[in-house]
Structure 1
Amino acid sequence: MSFWRVLLCIICPPLSVIGKGCGSILIVFILWCLGWIPGVIAALIILNNPER
């Protein structure tokens, strides 16, 4: 995970997971709307997952 992805994850989490699929974007967007911190945490978890 690059520095720019982490920075984008902090600024706008849905944009940071755009390459991981529609489901990931939707989950992160919903969590981001519920609160900034849950969206950032979800995006970091999705980006650190090596299986996707």
Structure 2
Amino acid sequence: MPREAGIGAIVAAILLPPLGIFLVRGLGTEFWIGVVLTLLGWVPGVIFALVAILRPAPIARA
């Protein structure tokens, strides 16, 4: 279940982008996209991680 992003997750997203995503969203698709982008370059990984953790979580449909 996704949580809100705290200061720790934001700092983690800047230092190690996949960790920040994992702390907020867990091991989902966004985490693996973050891993790939971080391997391609630190800046794309950081940008994606901040966007992924700061945008609202999708609403689950019943």
TM-score bracket for this pair, using the shorter chain length: 0.7 to 0.9
1:39 has 2:49 as partner = no
Matches of 1:8 and 1:51, distance apart in 2? 19
Counterpart in 2 of 1:17? Answer: 21
Give the TM-score, by structure 1 length: 0.85
Identity, % of aligned positions: 31
Which structure would you say has the larger Rg?
2
**Which structure dedicates a bigger proportion of its chain to helix?**
1
What amino acid maps onto 1:50 in structure 2? Answer: P
Deviation, structure 1 residue 51? 2.5
Gaps of 5+ in 1: none
Matches of 2:54 and 2:20, distance apart in 1? 12
Q: Counterpart of 1:51 in 2: which secondary structure? A: coil
Give the TM-score, by structure 2 length: 0.73
Gaps of 5+ in 2: none
Counterpart in 1 of 2:54? Answer: 48
The size of the alignment, in residue pairs, is 52
- Alpha-carbon RMSD: 1.3
